[in-house]
Amino acid sequence: MGGTSPEKLTGILGLLIFFVALLGGRVAAQAPPGWGAASGEDPSGDWSPRFDEDWEERIPGPEIGDYLGLPINGAARLRGDSWDAAMVELPEDQCRQHGSDYGWRGPSQLHIWQEVDRATQRVIAYHTHLSAYGAEQTIWMDGRPHPPDYALHTWQGFSTGEWDANTLVITTTHLKENWIRRNGIPRSDLATARVHLLKHGDYLTVTVIVYDPVYLTEPFIRTTDFVYTPQSQMAPWPCEPVDEVDRPEGVVPSHVEANPFLDEFPARYGIPPEATRGGAETMYPEYQLKMKSMKRLPRPAKVVPNR
């Protein structure tokens, strides 16, 4: 009776492992790019926002005329200057969702889940749900192309994702117009957004890069952090437009002449008015040196805490 020697067994086992590895490698090589979550850390789960960054801008809301750190052009600046906060009272504006490049900034619980192809068990898409305005974004992972330019634009846009090492990189087109900053600084519907989702431990860092050929002179980058919160609850966010103010049909509130409130922000914080006008230069640390020689407005006699 011929037995199998340990050396022979080791050789067969080695060959088997080699072929399995080869086969596995071939399967992996044949998979469409971006399929599966194997190369990155799955961001699925429930997340709560952290407001350590940019509290003033994000939660109470930005001040009128605060364009600091925004790489905007003159057209965006004028949109901000002429923006009247009464715009958000208009019934057709009350329930507008934030765009998918901005929605992360709100006081929103975040839920992320996978959509898996039942046959192959590959990840077709990630979905995100933000509690604010019930915004849901689909991030296609199956390599499908973006729609033609004559297709509908939406608040969340059309998004595709791919893994770059441990980061899920999302590219979004077909966005409706929305905010860069919630004081009238717009982001156009021709913009593209690139979002990097990076899970590190119990934290999720969302880096948003906005490329807008209409209103930005440089890409605008900002980060928002979330912490893993498996026990969180997602509240619904219905919104029903109502007539808050009786206005004639078609009225659009705006500052036709100079906005009288633009000086309040620089005066309150002792910031040179010139700096509050924003522009790419104001994003960089060396701009603080330039600010030293700029004129400032007198501070109000009694500084009322903003919030």
Residues near other proteins (CB under 8 A): 73-79, 82, 87, 92-93, 95-97, 133-136, 148-156, 176-177, 188-190, 213-215, 236-241, 249-252, 254, 256-257
CB of 92 to other proteins, least distance (A): 5
CA distance 148 to 168: 24
Report in angstroms the alpha-carbon separations of 24 from 29, 146, 165.
Answer: 8, 30, 19
- CB-wise, 90 or 209, nearer to other proteins? 90
CB of 30 to other proteins, least distance (A): 32
| Per-residue exposure over 150-176, b if at least 16 CB sit within 10 Å of its own CB, e if not | eeebebbbbbbbbbeeebbbbbbbbbb
By the 8 A CB rule, do 277 and 80 touch? no
CB of 77 to other proteins, least distance (A): 8
Closest CA to 157 of 140, 143, 132, 169: 140
CB of 238 to other proteins, least distance (A): 4
- CB-wise, 48 or 154, nearer to other proteins? 154
CA distance 167 to 40: 6
- CB-wise, 217 or 229, nearer to other proteins? 217
Tokens 């991030």, located at residue: 139
CB of 249 to other proteins, least distance (A): 6
**Hey, what amino acid is at 271?**
I
- CB-wise, 73 or 205, nearer to other proteins? 73
- CB-wise, 38 or 88, nearer to other proteins? 88
For 289, list phi and psi in degrees, rounded to 5. Answer: -65, -40
